[in-house]
Amino acid sequence: MSKFLLDYTLKVRLPLIIFTLILVFTVTYFVSYAERNGIGYEPDQPVTYSHKLHAGEMKIDCKYCHTGVEVSRSANIPSVDICMNCHNVARKDKAEIVKLTNYFEGNSPLKWKRIHKIPDFAYFSHASHVGKGIDCANCHGDVTQMKVVVQINSFTMGACLDCHRNPEKRIAEFYTLVNTHNIKKGPEYCSACHR
Ligand code: HEC
Ligand code: HEC
Ligand code: HEC
Ligand code: HEC
Ligand code: HEC
């Protein structure tokens, strides 16, 4: 290789390659950021159930279906029986309700795709948040306006701690709690969430 070519490779080509690699990494990092956090995750569901219609327009209480939300770790996804309380009469002839009825009569569970999820090694309880008056919207956004539920917040450790350090600020940004000034900070010691 001539001296000129070697120089060219070292001074021009190499920095260019390194620059490109860094650029690609940086762009990918930021573009995929939301996806890695789960933000924007909005899977198609087996039945086109709308929260906007049921919880928004018809104002059915969240707890009618998410029965565990004040009393246990998990909020619970309702079984088809709960839907059938109404849909054994309401809109029986519609395609989606026929589907629903088939699940019910076939006794087969409706496998809704899970949207919000933290890893098993971390502990979270709905009861200890909702029970203290923290509204669903602080973590899930305004579900009453969602035709299809979509994750709008990050559910990483950083996001948990962000609110735990300063709940008044975080909660005021979203929904007005009756008594925001009375709210305690959330725990920051590791074993609160890793037990
Ligand atoms: C009539 C029953 C019903 C009512 C009322 C209801 N939901 Fe749901 N909810 C469901 C069903 C069924 C699913 C699973 C399918 C889906 O994701 O849309 C669900 C899913 C969700 C999810 C996503 C769960 C996941 O996989 O991460 C959230 C969050 C949620 N509901 C919040 C609410 C809130 C907040 C309210 C009240 C404003 C509410 N729901 C009212 C039936 C209901
Ligand atoms: C409290 C009664 C009630 C419950 C509980 C209920 N629904 Fe409904 N649902 C209705 C009514 C009433 C309508 C029609 C509203 C309208 O079109 O104005 C409806 C509409 C629908 C539609 C649209 C049907 C169409 O094509 O017009 C679907 C799909 C649906 N519900 C699914 C579900 C599912 C799934 C559940 C259980 C997670 C459920 N519903 C629970 C009362 C209920
Ligand atoms: C402090 C934040 C926070 C609040 C407030 C909150 N949630 Fe959740 N929600 C979560 C987290 C975190 C998960 C995932 C839990 C997991 O993976 O174990 C979740 C999961 C869910 C799920 C999926 C199924 C399940 O049982 O885990 C539903 C449904 C749900 N939430 C409904 C609600 C409703 C309804 C309310 C209000 C009454 C509410 N949430 C309030 C953080 C919150
Ligand atoms: C919107 C604010 C907010 C978010 C987001 C939030 N928390 Fe909390 N959390 C609180 C507050 C406030 C308390 C203290 C409640 C009290 O005791 O008055 C708390 C208490 C707790 C506790 C102690 C109560 C118990 O059950 O032992 C745990 C554990 C916890 N949070 C876990 C989590 C995890 C895990 C996440 C993230 C997935 C999370 N939290 C997200 C506000 C939040
Ligand atoms: C408020 C709840 C909370 C507290 C307090 C907390 N964590 Fe976490 N941690 C989580 C959640 C939720 C996850 C899973 C989501 C994620 O990876 O961001 C997690 C994930 C982790 C992971 C795995 C990271 C990864 O990339 O997979 C480690 C390691 C960890 N935590 C260590 C700690 C240590 C050490 C402390 C104490 C200094 C601590 N955590 C305090 C909620 C908490």
User: Would you state the pLDDT for residue 182?
Assistant: 65
CA dihedral (37, 132, 59, 68) positive or negative: positive
CA 3 to chain centre: 58
User: Would you state the pLDDT for residue 35?
Assistant: 62
Cβ contacts of 195 within 8 Å, gap of 6 or more: 123
Cβ contacts of 192 within 8 Å, gap of 6 or more: 123, 186
If the chain, 195 residues long, is cut into consecutive pieces of 10 residues, what is the mean pLDDT of each piece? 76 89 86 72 91 97 95 95 93 92 92 94 95 88 94 93 87 57 85 95
Q: Which of 116, 163, 164 to mutate to test the pocket of ligand 3 (most atoms within 8 A of CB)?
A: 116
- CA–CA gap between residue 155 and residue 163 (Å, rounded): 11
Report which residue type is found at 165: R
User: Would you state the pLDDT for residue 68?
Assistant: 94
**CB of 87 sitting under 6 A from ligand 2:** yes
**CB of 155 sitting under 6 A from ligand 1:** no
Count CA atoms closer than 13 A to 28's CA, side-chain side.
Answer: 6
